[in-house]
């Protein structure tokens, strides 16, 4: 019987993960350079949440057709359109970001909307500031920085310093690549992107700790085996878990990615990318750093091994 499916999956694989590390290092380096390059060349496509835009209050004869209006504003040239019913059913507030001369652009959007929605009345456009203020951003970065330092401290305390540094470098790698993706695709960078980024960091950190945990255990178990082989063994033992957890996470988000519509797609695709990258960087950024640095092996107290738990 092949159900549960777990029986199909071998308990231990035999893949030489470490042998691939140099190639992975080259790929990582190229991806990081590409991300930074795109970042410098075109930067992020900051949305209205970050740069602000224009708001116009509109009034229609009957109730405002919010859905149609939402679709019509981008067609009329207003980026990152946000349409909200405002006070009365026949009134709505339209916010959008424009390029170039904000006043002229707003006039243009107004004219196109007036053609599409005959009888629509407009109040004079006003400039709206960003939803994400400077202090919010700098406070957020500070919080993230402190969190990373403390996580490093905790991993140092539970494992060794090189583990903590490996994890933080790997998480940085993930942040850079995720921002790189957002920069290359020019997906609108909004408050939602921040949420996606934080989720990616959380997932990635979780992966690192799970990776280290198996490595630490095997380091205690196989005291004289070279580090390289212990890493390979740990990763092979862990692979079934990594595959199942990774597919669960991606499966959970796949629905939202394909059926969630244009609102969820950028958020969810960023998260899926982050899951893949976070899993990859555990094996090919965090572990190689530890391998190159080396680990202290003999001052760890030997774990009392019972014969049954020694693998064949």
Partner 1 sequence: MITVSRWRIILVVLATLYGLLFTLPNLLPQSVRDSLPGFLPKQTLNLGLDLQGGSYLLYEVDTAALRTELLTNLVEDTRTTLREASIDFTGLGVVNGEVNVRINDATKVEQATKLLRTSLGAAMATGARDVTVSTAPDQRIRVAYVAQALDAQSAKAVDQSIEVIRRRIDELGTKEPDIRRQGTNRISIAAPGESDPKKLQAIVGQTAKLTFQMVDETADIAQAQQGRVPPGSILVPGDDFQPFYVIKRRALVTGEMLTDASGGFNSQTGRPVVNFRFNGQGAKRFADATAQNVGKRFAIVLDNKVISAPSINEPITGGSGQISGNFTTESANNLAILLRAGALPAPLTIQEQQTVSAELGADAIRAGAVSLIIGGLAIIVFIVLAYGLFGVFAALALVVNVLLILGIMSMTQATLTFPGIAGLILTLAVAVDANVLIYERVRDEAHAGRTPIMALEHGYSRALVSILDANITSAISAIIMFQFGSGPIRGFAWTLLIGVVTSVFTAVVITQVLIGWWFRATKPKSLPIE
Least distance to partner 1 from the beta carbon of 294, Å?
22
Least distance to partner 1 from the beta carbon of 105, Å?
17
Least distance to partner 1 from the beta carbon of 34, Å?
26
Site mask, partner 1, residues 1-20, x = CB under 8 A? --xxxxx---x---------
Instruction: Please report the DSSP string for 80-127 in residue order.
Output: EEEEEEESEEEEEEEEEE-SS-HHHHHHHHHHHHHHHSTT-EEPPPEE
Integer distance in angstroms from the first to the last C-alpha of the chain? 25
For partner 1, the binding residue among 73, 94, 155, 230 (CB under 8 A) is 155
For partner 1, the binding residue among 74, 101, 107, 154 (CB under 8 A) is 154
255-274 binders of partner 1 (CB under 8 A):
255-264, 267-268, 271
168-227 binders of partner 1 (CB under 8 A):
191-192, 194-196, 198-199, 201-203, 205-206, 209-210, 212-214, 217
Distance in angstroms (rounded) separating the CA atoms of residues 21 and 206: 21
Least distance to partner 1 from the beta carbon of 270, Å?
10
Least distance to partner 1 from the beta carbon of 36, Å?
25
Q: Which CB sits closer to partner 1, 112 or 221? A: 221
Beta partners for residue 92, in sequence order = 58, 85
For partner 1, the binding residue among 79, 116, 131, 297 (CB under 8 A) is 131
Is 253 within 8 Å of 272 (Cβ atoms)?
Answer: yes
Distance in angstroms (rounded) separating the CA atoms of residues 295 and 246: 28
CA distances from 22 to 193, 205, 291 (A): 32, 23, 12
Least distance to partner 1 from the beta carbon of 100, Å?
20
For partner 1, the binding residue among 66, 75, 115, 305 (CB under 8 A) is 66
85-124 binders of partner 1 (CB under 8 A):
85-87, 92-93
Beta partners for residue 189, in sequence order = 46
Question: Which segment (98-106, 218-226, 234-242, 286-294) binds partner 1 by CB under 8 A?
Answer: 234-242
Please give the size of the binding site for partner 1, defined by CB under 8 A.
Answer: 90
30-59 binders of partner 1 (CB under 8 A):
52, 55
Exposure string for 134-168, b = 16+ CB within 10 A, e = fewer: eeeeeeeeeeeeeebeebbeebeeebbebbbbbbb
Q: Which CB sits closer to partner 1, 30 or 195? A: 195
Least distance to partner 1 from the beta carbon of 110, Å?
17
Residues 6+ apart with CB under 8 A from 76: 108, 109, 112, 113, 116
Binding flag, residue 60, partner 1 (CB under 8 A): no
Strand (E) or helix (H) holding 70: helix 66-75
Q: Which CB sits closer to partner 1, 49 or 284? A: 49
Binding flag, residue 304, partner 1 (CB under 8 A): no
Distance in angstroms (rounded) separating the CA atoms of residues 223 and 216: 11
Q: Which CB sits closer to partner 1, 21 or 105? A: 105
Distance in angstroms (rounded) separating the CA atoms of residues 290 and 208: 12
Question: Residue 29 class from Cβ within 10 Å (0-12 exposed, 13-18 middle, 19+ buried)?
Answer: exposed
Least distance to partner 1 from the beta carbon of 243, Å?
10
């Amino acid at each position: 019987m092949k159900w549960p499916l777990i029986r199909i999956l071998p308990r231990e694989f035999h893949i030489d993960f470490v042998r691939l590390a140099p190639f992975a290092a080259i790929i990582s380096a190229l991806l990081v350079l590409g991300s930074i390059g795109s970042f410098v060349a075109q930067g992020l496509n900051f949305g209205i949440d970050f740069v602000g835009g224009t708001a116009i209050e509109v009034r229609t004869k009957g109730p405002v057709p919010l859905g149609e209006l939402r679709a019509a504003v981008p067609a009329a040239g207003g980026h990152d359109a946000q349409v909200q019913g405002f006070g009365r059913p026949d009134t709505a507030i339209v916010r959008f970001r424009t390029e170039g001369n904000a006043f002229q652009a707003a006039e243009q959007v107004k004219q196109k909307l007036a053609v599409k929605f005959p009888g629509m009345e407009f109040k004079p456009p006003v400039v709206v500031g960003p939803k994400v203020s400077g202090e919010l951003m700098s406070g957020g970065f500070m919080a993230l920085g402190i969190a990373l330092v403390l996580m490093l401290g905790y991993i140092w305390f539970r494992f060794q310093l090189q583990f903590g540094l490996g994890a933080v470098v790997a998480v940085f790698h993930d942040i850079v690549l995720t921002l790189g993706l957002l920069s290359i695709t020019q997906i609108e960078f909004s408050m939602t992107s921040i949420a996606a980024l934080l989720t990616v960091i959380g997932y990635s950190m979780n992966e690192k700790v799970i990776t280290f945990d198996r490595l630490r255990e095997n380091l205690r178990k196989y005291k004289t085996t070279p580090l390289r082989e212990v890493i390979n063994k740990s990763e092979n033992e862990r692979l079934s878990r990594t595959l199942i957890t990774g597919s669960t996470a991606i499966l959970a988000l796949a629905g939202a990615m394909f059926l969630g519509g244009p609102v969820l797609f950028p958020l969810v695709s960023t998260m899926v990318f982050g899951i893949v990258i976070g899993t990859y960087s555990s094996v090919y950024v965090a572990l190689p750093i530890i391998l190159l640095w080396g680990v202290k092996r003999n001052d760890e107290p030997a774990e009392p091994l019972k014969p049954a738990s020694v693998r064949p």
